[in-house]
Every structure is written in C-alpha cells, then in structure tokens.
Structure 1
Amino acid sequence: MASITSAGLGSGLDVNGIISQLMELESQPLDKLQNRAKEAQSKISAIGTLQGALSTFQARVLGLSSASAYKSLKGSLGDSAIGTVSTAVNAQAGSYSLAVTQLAQAHKLKSQSFTSVNEPVGTGTMTIQFGTHDDNGTTGTNADDTFTVNGDKGALTIEVDSTNNTLTGLRDAINAKKAGVTATIVNDGGGYRLLLSSSDSGEANSLKISVDDDDTNDTDTSGLSRFAYDPTATTNMAQTQVAQNAKFQLDGIAISKSSNTVTDVLQGVTLTLQKISALDSNDAPITTSLNVSRDTSGVKTAVEEFVKSYNEFAKSVEGLSFYNEQDKSSGLLNGDYVIRSMQSSIRATLNQGLGKGSYYQSLGAVGVSFDDKGTMTLDSSKLQKALDTRPEDVASLFAVNGVSSDARVSYVSSTATTQAGSYAINVTAPATRGSFSGLAIANGPITITENDNDMLMVAVDGTSSGQIKLAAGSYATPAALAAEIQSKINGDSRIKDAGAGVTVAYNTTSGKFEMSSNKYGAKSNVQITATGSTTETTLGFKVSQSGSGTNVAGTINGEPAKGDGQSLTGTGKVEGLKLTITGDTAGDYGTMGFSRGFASKLDQTVASLLSNNGLLRSRINGLNRDIKNIESQGGTMIRRLEDIEKRYRAQFSALDVQIATMNSTSSYLSQQLSMLNNLASGNKK
C-alpha cells in the first residue's frame, strides 16, 4: 500500500484547515499578549505627547519667573525731539516738566599744521589731564584763569621716542592708551593737524596737556612742546570746541550735568538730551512733559499666556484621559495613575499658600482662578490693580523674589535650598574700605617740586603701581592737590588694568590727606610703598602707611551670615540668600521677605515631573519593561505553539494514514464481495 505524503489525501479530511482552526484557538493567549504590547507602546507615545504639552507649559511658566519683569516702567517726553527716556526696575512713577537750555559737549583741540603725517614731532613725555577750566573773562590773558584737576579721571602719560615720534605715531600712541582721549589727523587743505577730543563731555573733562620736551624747552613752538595746552598758561594747541555741561530745568529746578545722558537726577531714569528747547515770546524756554509710568503690558501678556498655556495643557491631558459614557470610548491614558499623580502634583502646587515671604498668598488674589469645569480664568482688572499698587508683591507671588523693608538692604540672589519666609536682618559691623590718614599738614597752598616731593608709589587691593609723578607747581588748596593725587594714581596703568582705584580727600578738621580704596571688604587695602625725598613733610605721606577694609558682618533670621565685601549670605534656613548691605552703621536693618512664587514652584514641579527620575520617565521605563517581559513571554508562547502544531500535524498524519488504510481495506472487501456475488449468480444459470 502506497504511503500517504500529503495531509488529507488519504482520508479526504481538510487537515490543514482543521489544524489552522485549532491553532487559532491555541494562539488566543498570544494575541492578547501582543495586544498588551501594542497598548503599552501606544501609552508610551501618549506620555510623549504629555511630555511635550508639559514642556510647553513650563516654557510659559518660565516667562513669569523673573522678578524684574514685574517692576518695569516706561518713560516718555511730550516733545520727543527734545530727547529720549529709558527706565530701570528701581524707577518711580511720576510726572515732571522739562526745559533744556544747553547741551553738553566735549573739549576739542587742534595742533599747528604739519607738512606730512610722517613729520617728526619731537620726543619726550606728554601728560594729559582732565579738569575744570575757570575763565577769568579777561580777553587775551590766562594769567588769573584756574584749572582744577578732575580727581575721578586718571591722568594719561605718553612716552614719545624714536619709535613713535611722528604725527601718526603720536596719534596711535594716544589712542592705544584708551584712556579718555581720542586723537585723529585731519588734512585741512593746508597741511595735517592732530585733533584731540575728550571722550567724555562736560566742564570737568576739559583737557590740560603738559610736556617734558627732550629739547629742554617745554613751552616753545618746536618739538613736543607744540602740543602743550595749559588753559592757565601755555596754549600752543588751539581750542576748537569748549567743554560744557548740559543745562536744564526739571520742575523749575536748575540742573547742570557733564553729559547729555543723565542717569542720576531721577532714580532709575536715564534721560538722553538731544535738542535745546524752543523759546517763547519772552525768550523763556518752553517746557515739555516728562512722564514715568509703570509698564505692566509685558506682565499682563505673560500672565495671559500662562493662563492660556495651562488651559491648553489641561486640554491635552483631557484628550488623553477622557471617558465617554455614551459610546464607551476613552483616551489612551484613561485610568492610568500617571495622569492622576501629575494632576495631583500640579494642583497641590497651585493651591499651596506661599507663607510669610509674600503679601499675596494665592493666585486668586490677583485674578487668576478656576471655574467649575477646571478651566483657569483671569480677571484682568484685578491683576492690573495689584500691579499698580503692589508690583513688588505681585513679583513675589509669581517669581523668586526678595522684598526688603529697609532701603539699605537689597535682594541679590538665592539658591534652590533657600526657604521662603520673612527674615530679620541685623548688621553687627558694616563693610568698610581700606583707608588711612596721613600726617597732619597745614591747610594752605602746597608747592610740588620736580624730583623732590612729586613722586610716590602705592599698592591698591594687592596691586602695586608704577612710579607716580605729580605735576609740579603751586596748588592753592590741599583739596586741589588731593584731586591731582587721585587722578595720577587712578591713571596708573597697573592700577587701572587691575580694576582698582582710590579716593583721595583732604580732611579740614584733622588737617590730613585721607586715601581710600574704592572696593569694600577684606580684600580692600591701600598702602604707600615709596615717596619722594620730602613727600612726608609736605604731603604727610610716608612709606608703610596703610589700611585694610573689613567685610560686612551680621545675622539673617538670627543665624550668623557670611560676609564678603558688602554682600551678606545666609546660612541654615536661609542658606544661599544673598543680600547687599549699603549702610554704614550697625543695628537693625528691618526684614527681608523672601518668596518662591507660583511660577518658581510650578517650574520646580514640572522640572521634577520631566526629570530622568521623574514620574513620566518612570512610567515610560515601566512600560518598556512591560513590553520586554511581554516579548519574552511571547517568545516562550510561540515556541510552545510551534510544538503544539507539530504534535497536531503528527497526530492528524497518523489518523490520515489509518483512515486511508481502512478506506483501502473497505474498497478491497467491496471488490471481493462483488466477485462472489457474480460467481453465485453464474452457478444458478
């Protein structure tokens, strides 16, 4: 009997169909497992969408986290041609009248004419100083004019030798100093002239040019002395523009300033003057209005965007977690704990009171609330009122901010560990500058003699100066000489490059020169390191006179704080709270209200949710683990199904053979019976 090689051929059964149906039944657990994997993958994709919505919401939150945004003001002039107005966060709202009668301008000088830019100009030393020239008003003479040195501007010394003793070389040497004077060369058609211009405008920035000419004559019109300009004596350079201050009236008060950019008349207001006011029929300047008002448009827009972004975020969450009772449809994350946990974290942050550090305790206090459907809403009028009356406190409601009750204390920064609250500030010792007083000298004219008492060297904040030479001559008062000393020290290249500087003054009560570093704190110090032969007797300065500053010391919240210059940084509960203390006395400095506003808190909450160890990433990691486990279980199940199918096929193959054999036997017996019947029928005949 031939063997059966194809399932069902021997039996006539649809063996493949039967096995296929049986395997469909056997594969149902695998199908359910694969559906679970697809569902987990869909949830991962949905959580990715949630992460995107949360990141967008966080970006809007960050737009509210800067305290300075809540304090901005804007300025305007009724006559915009007069100038412009800009404001800083510490400006105060107000309205004023303004009339401009004179614009500031810089001092400008021109040299005599040279035939070439490469013509020699002589050699020696040129010293440029800044100060105020008081004209006696007498035509044709400078005899009783005066020049008072501007102690706030360092003197400029240029060495002119064989490497730079041309008109071009002198120009470049002056400009290389970058010390308040600009030099240019102009061809006026008849020759080349050196033009010098003070970089700063104003009466106190008039130029005085002294030379030490190698030809030994410092005042003639040859050699380097051709560039000498002393408004009280030799004027070999010609003045092309007088130095003058800006003059204007603010609410009828006459004011004079060295620059057309005025920053110190109204707190936090920068006024840039561009034009003199027109005159009325009586030749009086016509006033225009200057208004400073709080600019809340940016804050309102930011809050509106915050509300809009929250609602967009809530809508995204709803789209992923909804359940429709009517058609039984649901979002991919319906019932998932990640939604509940995330919503709980955000709502807890929004509903939490801010504590003692903030005047406003809830978003509802400034018009931000929720309706009965959970949608965030904004009452713009309520927000505007809060911004108009308590801008600092609105800043504290949203941002990380500190509000001081004492003008001598200002908030600088904080760290993530700084806790919100209201903290008492006490200063046990204010910061001081390194300073010393010289020996007593007479309050009268002082003569500085070259190579005698005209030299000193100092060290300021750890930086040693080069040799400092004072201008020889008679100084009418010690105060005039103090300005000269200060100017020359601050003009020293080593001191200047180190960012250091000094203030020198004469104390009429003690009869002593006083020298102070411009820096506060323990790193602040000044010292006399060398002097001329008679400097001690005429100026009261001697070698080793010195003084060091001290850091501010005190407590914040009753706990010792760390002092560094004028900065006081908290410890303990107020760890990282950094303040600037500008007072000069010890005692109670009020309180500092430190707040982590809702924007800051929300930013921290969202950042935590989005972090690598946060809720969303943890849920994604869990789903990936589920998928991996499903894949492992699926692999095992597939191998088991393969074995089952093999077994089914073996069993049905055996059955097929048996049925085929039985069919063959049945056919044979049928044939034999038919033959017997035929034989029986033949015998009867």
Structure 2
Amino acid sequence: MAIDGLISGLDTSSIIQQLMSVEKAPQDALVSRKATVQAALDALGSIRTKLGGLSSAAATISSPSGWGLRSATTTSSSTAVVSAAKGASIGSLTFTVDRLASAHGLRSTDVFATTATTAAAGPLTFTGDDGPVSVSVGSGSLADVVAGINAADLGVRAAAVNTGAGYRLQVTATTTGDGSTFTLAGLTGGTTVTSTGQDAKLVVGSGPGAYDVTSPSNTFSDVLSGVSITAVAVSASPVTVDVAEDVDGMAKQVQSFVDSLNAVLGEIKTRTAYDAATKTAASLNGDPTVRRVAQELIRAVTDQVGASSLGSAGLAGLQITRNGTFTFDSAKFGAAYRDDPDAVQALFTQTATTTGPVTFRGAGNRALSGTYDVVVTSPATAASASQSIPDPLVADRTISVRVNGTVASFDAVAGQDLATISAGLAAAIADEGLQLDVGIDAGQLVVTHRNAGSAARFDVAWDGATWTTAAGSDVAGTIGGKAAVGTGRVLAVPSATAGLGGLSVTVGGSGTGVVGTVDYTAGLAQRVASAAAAATDLGDGYLTGEETSTRSRISSLQSSISAWDVRLTAKEAHLRAVWSQLEVQMGSLQSQSSWLTGQLSALG
C-alpha cells in the first residue's frame, strides 16, 4: 500500500527504494558473480562439444580400418558401373558384357474370358529348385489361381493380364539367374515359357585365353576382392574397370581431422582471450585447465611417432603455425602416401608388434604406448566330448550333436567300423553347417568345437536321446601387469583401466606364464583421441572435474542469492512498516496540534 507523504508530504516510496538499493548491493554482486561463473561453464561446455567432434574425426583415422579407401572407375558407365569397399584389391579388369541376368517367366497357353473363368481343375504343381510343391487354387478360377500362387510364397509372382481379347496368367520369378527356372503343371491348356532365367555373363579377355564370369544377378561381387561390378547393358565393346588407392579420399579424412583439431584450439583461444584495447578478459582467461587441453592436443600431434619411418607429422603435410593452430598440405600428404603408404598410415593409427603366439587386436583411449608382457594364467580351451564305441559297432545307434538348437545326427549301423561312423557323423555335421570336428583318439570317438571359449559350447547325445553339454573355457591372464578379461582366445584390459584401458590381444597356443609381448604405439590420431578422452571422460576427466566444480559454485551462489531474497523482502517490509508508523504518529501530532490551536483560539 502506497504511503507516500499522506501526512509528512515526503516521497517515502522513493526513500525506501533508495535504501533498498543500498541493502541489495551485496546481492547484486552475487548475481554478477554468478553470471560470470555461468559464462565460464558455458565456455567449458562449448569446448567439450568441440572435443566431441574432434574425437569422432580422430576415431575415423586412428585405426587401420579407417584407411585403405579405394577409388573405382569404369571406361563406360553405360555398360558397367563399379564400386570398391575399403581394402578392396587394387587392379584392373577388362571384359565385355555378354548377357544380362533375366528372370524365368511363363504364361498360360489359353486365354480366359474373365478372371472368373476356370483355369485349373485342381491343385497346381510348382517345380523349382526345391522340388515339386502342390499349390491350392480354391475354385480353380483364374482369380483364385493367381491368389493361390502368390499366397504359396514360391519365389514367383502371378498376375492376370488383360490382353484385350481375354486374360492370360503370367507367372514370373522374383529373382534372376539360372536358378530362377521353374515349371507349373495343372493349368488348363498348359503353359508357355515367356523368358528363360539365366545368369549374367562377363567375358574377360579375348582369344583362346578368354574366360567367363557369371552371376545370378547383374551385380558381380568380389570378382576382384571387395569390388562390385554391375552390368548395365550388353556390349561387344570392351569396358575396363580400375581400382586404385583413393589418396584424395584419405586426404579429406585427415583434413576433416585437422579442421576439428583447429576448431577446438580456436575455441580455446577465443574463450581465454584478453582484449588489451578494451581491457576485457574472456570468460576463461587464465584458466589452467583449458590451457592444459590445448597443450595436450598440440603435443599429441607434434611428438614423434616411433612406429612410422616418417616420424613427424610435418613430413605428411601436417604443420603447426605460429598462432598454435595447424595447416594441412594435401599435396604433400598425397606424395608421402604414394611413396610409402604404410609409413603414413602408421603415423596416424594404432600399431603394434608382438612376440610369441600373440596377435594385436586394438587399444582404447586410455592405452599408452609401451611394451607389455602378456601373461596367461589359464589358456583358452575348446569344448570337447568323447565316447568309447565298439569297433566294429555291435548294435545300431544314433549319435546326435546340437548347437544352438540345430541338430545333426548319424544313424550308425551294427558292423560299421569307427572310421565309418566318424566320417558319417562329420558329414551330418557339415550338412548342418555346425562348427564341429569329429575324430578318433585312442579308440574313442571325439567331437570338438572349432572355436575356443566358454561361449563355444555344444550338446551331444551318444545314444541319440540323452544329452550332455560340452563347454570350453576362456583365456585368463594379464597384460602389462593389468588384470584382463578373457573371451575365447581374446584377452582385453577393461576400458576404464588407467594406462592400458582397451588394449586387447588374441592369444594362441596352450602355454602359460609370459607367452609373449605386445609393443604398442599410439599414432598421432589415437593420441589426440586419448587426450580428448582424458579431458572429457565422465568419470575422471579433468575438464569434467572443472565443469562439476563450476556447477557447484553456481549452485552455492544461487543459494546465497535466494537467501538474500528472503532477507531483502523482510527488510523492505520493515522499512515500510516504520515509515507507515511515522505517518501515523505525524497524523496524531497534527490532530493534537489542531486541537490545541482550537482551544487557544477559544480562550482568546
């Protein structure tokens, strides 16, 4: 309620507002401080985002799988088109397209007046690769024949085609190639072939040395390993496809990495800047944490890489500038790559040499370069089961094995010797595609899984009914003194382990103790990824730690600001009460003054 000078004539609201401004000064300082700290947190978040982009770009070229890009060209895209996957075979192939793939098709010999006209007196017999299949066609009308064929899921599609003079049944395979041929019996009037299913064919070379390459579709996969050729048109003129290293593509990947690196360094420079002219400091000016980020990234790129004969990134076109960012010379990179692709790849990627029955698989962002012993405390084993069986067999028996629900069985007959039974069971296993081997050892029939480890297990019923389970075991041991987890023959240090996180190897053989070593080198892209991870790891990243601390400061400041809100509200209420009481007292005095004035006037 406004009390402005009702009696006194004073602007009490203005007086209270000015008094409250003085009282509020400490809170205003806290609000300003909170805004400053919030700006710092926002800046840290922006740097984190840029580091995420850098991690993604580094991951693309930090492992060998990111390299080996291939370019594929064709001299006639109207005849054949070509594509090549990473690591595809480099080479050239010249050929002519002799024919394109086609789907088998047939039609009814008869023409039917309407789709309701009877086209079959009973079920049809469809014969394809899987043998004859009976097809129910309901009433036998043309419409029911079409519906019955399509519902049978035979790898063909049927349609009633209006010719203008009636309807014909048209049936066409849904795939192309020699394997698409089929017959259809039981249709009124029979059928006539409209197209013959055939494979596409390329003729490579000419003269007596020419040879054919066929495919059930117009796409020829792995004629050259990793290369796909798609025939577009028949042509007697030769077409040549060339597959080469895609140096430009790999240079673009490195350029993207450099751009992401510069984005982080540029963001740090902006957030830590000081404008001498305006004497204005950015929100993270002088912050040692973000300076550390920049220093770690720069060192990751500029330090020598011992696994590469180039040693320095500068020899592959990557140079640091005076302002702390990097430039990339793609032409210099291309020249270095063409001269020694392995050396350039080793400069950027994870590499390792091993001794003993140890094969390097990969490493995580916490793994540091070094030479580490691989110690096996328990070797991996493969699941195995054996049974003594009379040789020759005395009585008939069925021997069954089962893997993930798939069963392979062999019915052994009395009088068969152990070699025959072993061969028969092995053939049954092969027919089902199971990864099991069968052999004979000391008069016993032995079944062994081809893969080692606890996950590679199988069941066996030597009498065809009573199942028992055979399971292998995983390798157990350490790498560089760090506990590792075994999966089959793979031994891997958990990713969170400091110093070696994610380092994994495959261990062969059955030895224990120090079975070999792995000499690991993190290339510069992997070192950058590791530096980014060390900063941003959600568990113990040092940038993450500063963000957590900054959020805590903001929370504390907000608590103080809120406490001042309560204090200031109470203070303003008190001031208003005091000034209101003042007006009341002045009003009372004014009334008394008026009364006294009246009394004095009456006495006079």
Aligned to 1:632: 563
Q: Deviation of residue 334 (structure 1)? A: 3.5
Q: For the residues of structure 1 that align with 2:21 and 2:108, how far apart are their CA atoms? A: 106
Equivalent of 1:570 in 476, 479, 492: 492
Equivalent position to 1:257, from 214, 229, 242? 214
CA–CA distance in 2 between the matches of 1:589 and 1:274? 53
Q: Which residue matches 2:123?
A: 121
Rg comparison, structure with higher value? 1
The answer on whether the counterparts of 2:318 and 2:329 sit within 8 Å (CA) in structure 1 is yes
Q: Which of 297, 303, 321 lines up with 1:371 in the alignment?
A: 321
Cα deviation code 1:529-571 (max 9, x no counterpart): 99xxxxxxxxxxx999999897896988589987767x62424
Query: Cα distance, 1:378 vs. partner?
Result: 2.7
Which of 270, 287, 290 is the aligned partner of 2:241? 290
Provide the secondary structure at the position in 2 that maps to 1:120. strand
- Does 2:46 match 1:72? no
Aligned runs of 1:17-56 on 2, under 5 Å? 30-31=24-25, 33-56=27-50
SS at match of 2:223: coil
Residues 240-272 of structure 1: CA deviation (Å, up to 9, x unaligned): 425346233279773523344233332222222
Whole-Å separation in 2 of the counterparts to 1:310 and 1:434: 56
Residue 622 (structure 1) shift: 0.7
Instruction: Render the CA deviation track for 1:201-245: whole Å, top value 9, x for unaligned.
Output: 35xx47587xxxxxxxxxxx9759x99xxxxxxxx9869425346
Aligned ranges 1:123-522 → 2 under 5 Å: 128-129=128-129, 156=130, 159-160=133-134, 167-168=145-146, 171-172=149-150, 174-175=152-153, 181-185=155-159, 187=161, 192-193=168-169, 195=171, 197=173, 199=175, 201=177, 205=179, 240-241=195-196, 243-244=198-199, 246-249=201-204, 254-259=211-216, 260-279=218-237, 286=238, 288-335=239-286, 339-352=287-300, 359=308, 364=314, 366-388=316-338, 401=350, 461-464=403-406
Q: CA deviation at 1:62?
A: 1.5
Change (3 A) 1:18 1:571: closer
**Cα distance per residue 1:601-658 (max 9 Å; x no partner):** 244245348999532242133134134325536765886799899999999x99xxxx
- One-letter code aligned to 2:282: G
Of 259-268 and 572-581, the range deviating more from structure 2: 572-581
Equivalent residues of 2:268, 2:294 under 8 A apart: no
State whether residues 265 and 294 of structure 2, in contact with CA within 8 Å, keep that contact through their aligned partners in structure 1: no
Matched, 1:87 2:84: yes
Residue 53 of structure 2 aligns with an amino acid whose one-letter code is: A
- 2:119 and 2:536 map into 1 onto residues whose CA distance is 65
Distance 1:611 1:307 in 2: 23
The change in CA–CA distance for 1:307 and 1:348 in structure 2 (over 3 A counts) is same
Q: Determine the C-alpha separation between the residues in 2 that align with 1:254 and 1:515.
A: 43
Pair 1:358–1:432, CA change in 2 (3 A): farther
Q: Is the 8 A contact 1:164 1:173 kept in 2?
A: no
Question: Residue type of the partner of 1:34?
Answer: D
- Offset of 1:396 from its aligned partner? 6.5
CA distance in 2, matches of 1:164, 1:409: 65
Tell whether 2:100 aligns with 1:108: no
What is the deviation of 1:63?
A: 2.9
CA distance in 2 between counterparts of 1:29 and 1:418 reads 57
Separation (CA, whole Å) in 1 of partners of 2:196 and 2:312: 61
SS at match of 2:204: strand
Matched residue SS, 1:381: helix
| TM-score, structure 2 as length reference | 0.62
The answer for unaligned runs of 5 or more in structure 1 is: 130-155, 210-220, 228-235, 280-285, 441-455, 469-481, 506-513, 531-541, 655-685
SS in 2 for 1:76: strand
Distance 2:75 2:332 in 1: 30
Distance 1:327 1:554, change over 3 A: closer
TM-superposition CA deviations, 1:283-336 (whole Å, max 9, x none)? xxx3x432222334454445444444554554444444433445533334444x
Q: Aligned letter for 2:203?
A: F
Task: Report if aligned partners of 1:425, 1:555 keep a CA contact under 8 Å in 2.
Answer: yes
Distance 1:552 1:17 in 2: 82
Other-structure match for 1:619: 550
Seen in structure 2, the aligned counterparts of structure 1 residues 562 and 246 have a Cα distance that, compared at 3 Å, is farther
Report what 2:443 is aligned to.
none
One-letter amino acid matched to 1:172: N
2:600 aligned partner = none
Per the alignment, in what secondary structure is the counterpart of residue 625 of structure 1? helix
Q: Secondary structure at the match of 2:274?
A: coil
Residues 77 and 272 (structure 1), Cα distance of their counterparts in 2 relative to 1, 3 Å cut: same
- In angstroms, what is the RMSD of aligned CA positions? 6.5
1:19 touches 1:649 (CA, 8 Å); kept in 2? Answer: no
Partner residue in 2 for 1:59: 53
Aligned amino acid, residue 547 of structure 2: L
Percent identity, please: 16
The 3-state SS of whatever aligns with 2:241 is strand
Give 1:87's aligned amino acid.
Answer: A
TM-score when scaled to structure 1? 0.56
- Match of residue 674 from structure 1: none
Q: Is contact 1:425–1:592 with CA below 8 Å preserved after alignment?
A: no
Kept after mapping to 2: 8 A contact 1:351/1:362: no
Which amino acid in the other structure matches residue 626 of structure 1?
L
- Asked whether the 8 Å contact 1:34–1:634 carries over to 2, the reply is no
Q: Quote the offset at 1:380 in angstroms.
A: 3.2
TM-fit CA distance, 1:577: 4.8
Distance (Å, rounded) in 2 between the aligned partners of 1:43 and 1:87: 52
Give, in angstroms, the shift of residue 6 of structure 1: 9.1
What pairs with 1:589-628 in structure 2 (closer than 5 Å)?
593=520, 595=522, 597-605=526-534, 607-608=536-537, 614-628=545-559
- The answer to whether the 8 Å contact 2:123/2:136 transfers is no
- 1:510-535 Cα distance to aligned partner (Å, 9 max, x none): xxxx99999887646697999xxxxx
Paired residue for 1:450? none
- Quick check: 2:156–2:173 contact (8 Å CA) kept in 1? yes
What is the CA distance between 1:80 and its match in structure 2?
A: 2.0
Separation of aligned partners in 2, 1:165 and 1:107: 29
* Structure 1 CA distance for aligned equivalents of residues 384 and 133 of structure 2: 34
Q: Distance in 2 between matches of 1:463 and 1:165?
A: 41
Letter in 2 for 1:100: T
- SS of the residue aligned with 2:324? coil
| Superposed displacement of residue 104, structure 1 | 5.6
CA deviation profile, 1:137-174 (whole Å, cap 9, x unmatched): xxxxxxxxxxxxxxxxxxx3665376779644662365
Q: 1:629 is paired with a residue of what secondary structure? A: helix
| Paired residue secondary structure (2:95) | strand
